[in-house]
Structure 1
Amino acid sequence: MDEVEREERVAAGFAAGDEACMEAVHRRWRPLVHSLARRALGDEREAEDVTQQVFLAAWRGRGGYRPGPGGLGAWLTGITRHKVADALDARTRRARVADAARRFGPRPGPQPEPEQVVERVVVLGELARLPSAQQRVLSLAFYGDLTQTQIAERTGMPLGTVKSHMRRALHVLRRSLRTFPPQAIR
């Protein structure tokens, strides 16, 4: 049996749910998947996580595998691209939350109660998900104690835009914070 036939047989066994074939697929394609992830992410630990996610997703989605040009390697490469994109998105979200925490960080004075810390983390996380213009308007309003007119003057935005950003941001926050248990947000 030549190499092409062997790979086709392994791919068919993998798609059928044969664990031995999954092991062979992992052994054969793990170096490529890991290399692509490491190159794209620049972080060994994240690359390991993505590699595991790729093979888990491949195993779970093996019923959707259809042999085609490039075979199983091309299919796994596609999954890798999606998982790398997800990891980069998660990295961006973490950076936004960290940035929001720095900008809206703790104030000097007595330390807050644990419940207040949880509330603050939840609200900061939701704030970090807002577009930057809406974040800025809310920050100036609540932390800068500025009116909407003052925000418009300071930022150079039209007053109507400031009002729209404020309204949309508060609507999004209200809607997203409704999903948390009442004890998490007071």
Structure 2
Amino acid sequence: MPKTDDDIAKGFALGDESCLAAAYRRWGSLVYTVAARALGDVEEAKDVAQQVFIGAWRGRAGFEPAKGTLPAWLMGITRYKIADALEQRSRRRRDLEAVSAIEVGAERTENSVPTAILDQLVIRDCLAELTAAQRQVLELAFFDDLTQTQIAERTGLPLGTVKTHARRGLIALKRRLEEVDGAAQ
């Protein structure tokens, strides 16, 4: 079992799994804390911390103990993973706004009621074309008003998987609605 930070760093670079475990025990809470403060979401911070150590382990050939410390290298990876998480969050928000912008029934008038019913049928058809997982995640989000964390808890899926299904489902739904809207004009 490695004792010093230098022993951990050297073993980590050489692919010693006990050094990975030691690095996680020693610096995992630091990585998590930095991510949690930057993201403001504990579940997202857990995902980022996991991604940091997986990424560090896979990219360990790029770590040179003679050029810097392992914690500093891990913090560099953490900054990139936080930036990735924030970008994903921004993309999800843009996707939701884009789908929300497609109005089901702009103004309810006597003549628009049949149009609103038709729009609902089109949306149901579009939802039916999604994968089962994407449809389930979107239905839980929109109809049950659940957050992605709550959806992950309810379905037993990892939070990252829920986010991926939501994003891909929204993109597919948006494309399909745009096709339908384009064909109707």
CA RMSD of aligned residues (A): 2.8
Give the structure 2 partner of residue 47 of structure 1. 45
Give the structure 1 partner of residue 100 of structure 2. 102
CA drift of 1:115 comes to: 5.1
- Note closer, same or farther for the CA distance 1:80–1:125 as it changes in structure 2 (3 Å cut): farther
Give the structure 1 partner of residue 70 of structure 2. 72
- Compare 68-77 and 90-99 and name the one that shifted more: 68-77
Structure 1, unpaired ranges of 5+: 128-137, 146-186
How far apart, CA to CA, are the structure 2 residues paired with 1:35 and 1:87?
Answer: 15
Of 11, 20, 25, 1:13 maps to 11
How far apart, CA to CA, are the structure 2 residues paired with 1:112 and 1:126?
Answer: 10
How far apart, CA to CA, are the structure 2 residues paired with 1:14 and 1:100?
Answer: 45
CA drift of 1:112 comes to: 2.6
Indicate whether 1:124 and 2:174 are aligned: yes
How far apart, CA to CA, are the structure 2 residues paired with 1:14 and 1:126?
Answer: 48
Taking the TM superposition and a 5 Å limit, the aligned residue runs for 1:12-31 are: 12-31=10-29
- Say if 1:54 and 1:79, in contact at 8 Å, map to a contact too: yes
TM-score by length of 1: 0.60
**Percent of aligned pairs sharing the same letter:** 43
Give the structure 1 partner of residue 122 of structure 2. 112
Structure 2, unpaired ranges of 5+: 106-115, 131-168
Aligned residues: 127
- Say if 1:97 and 1:125, in contact at 8 Å, map to a contact too: no
- Say if 2:32 and 2:45, in contact at 8 Å, map to a contact too: yes
Larger radius of gyration: 1
Give the structure 2 partner of residue 164 of structure 1. none
